[in-house]
Amino acid sequence: MTTDLIQKTSQSQVELRGISKRYNIYDRPIDRLKEILWNGKKSFHREYLALDNVSYSFAPHTTALLGPNGSGKSTLLQIMAGVLKPTAGQVACRGRVTAILELGAGFQPEYTGRENALLYGLIVGIPEDEMKERMDEIRDFAELGDFFDQPIKTYSSGMVVRLAFGCATNVEPEILLVDEALAVGDEYFNQKCLERIYDLQAKAKTIILVTHNMDTASRYCQSAVLMNGGQIVADGSLDEIIPMYQEVVRSASAHEHKKFLSVL
Ligand code: ADP
* 246 is a domain residue: yes
Distance 175 CA to ligand 1 centre (A): 23
At 12 the pLDDT is 45
- Specify the ligand 1 atom closest to the Cα of 21: 12
* 64 is a domain residue: yes
CA distances from 120 to 115, 117, 226 (A): 8, 5, 31
Whole domain around residue 156: which residue ranges?
60-254
Confidence of residue 195 (pLDDT cuts 50, 70, 90): confident
Cβ neighbours around 25 below 10 Å, total: 10
* Model confidence at 232: pLDDT above 90: yes
- Specify the ligand 1 atom closest to the Cα of 48: 26
Ligand 1 binding pocket includes 67 (Cβ within 6 Å)? yes
* 135 is a domain residue: yes
* Model confidence at 89: pLDDT above 80: yes
Distance 179 CA to ligand 1 centre (A): 14
Higher pLDDT, 238 or 184: 238
- Average pLDDT of span 18-46: 91
Distance 260 CA to ligand 1 centre (A): 20
What CATH number did the domain enclosing 231 receive? 3.40.50.300
Confidence of residue 7 (pLDDT cuts 50, 70, 90): very low
Ligand 1 binding pocket includes 78 (Cβ within 6 Å)? no
* 195 is a domain residue: yes
Cβ neighbours around 149 below 10 Å, total: 12
- Model confidence pLDDT, tens digit, residues 124-167: 888 889 999 999 999 999 999 999 999 999 998 888 888 988 89
* Model confidence at 65: pLDDT above 70: yes
* 43 is a domain residue: no
- Annotate the chain with three-state secondary structure: CHHHHHHHHHHCCEEEEEEEEEEEECCCHHHHHHHHHCCCCCCCCEEEEEEEEEEEEECCCEEEEECCCCCCHHHHHHHHHCCCCCCEEEEEECCCEEEECCCCCCCCCCCEHHHHHHHHHHHCCCCHHHHHHHHHHHHHHHCCHHHHHCEHHHCCHHHHHHHHHHHHHHCCCCEEEEECHHHHCCHHHHHHHHHHHHHHHCCCCEEEEECCCHHHHHHHCCEEEEEECCEEEEEECHHHHHHHHHHHHHHHHHHHHHHHHHHC
- Average pLDDT of span 41-68: 94
- Model confidence pLDDT, tens digit, residues 176-185: 888 865 566 6
* Model confidence at 1: pLDDT above 70: no
For 188, residues 6+ apart whose C-beta sits below 8 A from its C-beta are: none
Residue nearest to atom 23 of ligand 1 (CA): 23
pTM for the complete prediction? 0.83
In degrees and rounded to multiples of 5, residue 202 shows phi and psi of -65, -20
List residues bridging with 235 in a β-sheet.
225
- Model confidence pLDDT, tens digit, residues 201-225: 877 689 999 999 899 899 889 999 9
At 149 the pLDDT is 97
Ligand 1 binding pocket includes 211 (Cβ within 6 Å)? no
Residue nearest to atom 27 of ligand 1 (CA): 23
* Model confidence at 93: pLDDT above 70: yes
| Poorest-pLDDT segment among 50-59, 99-108, 111-120 | 99-108
Confidence of residue 260 (pLDDT cuts 50, 70, 90): low
Using alpha carbons only, what angle is made at residue 87 by residues 212 and 26, rounded to the nearest 5 degrees? 80
* Model confidence at 175: pLDDT above 80: yes
Confidence of residue 103 (pLDDT cuts 50, 70, 90): low
* 4 is a domain residue: no
* 45 is a domain residue: no
- How many domains does the chain fold into? 1
* 141 is a domain residue: yes
* Model confidence at 72: pLDDT above 70: yes
Distance 237 CA to ligand 1 centre (A): 26
At 188 the pLDDT is 85
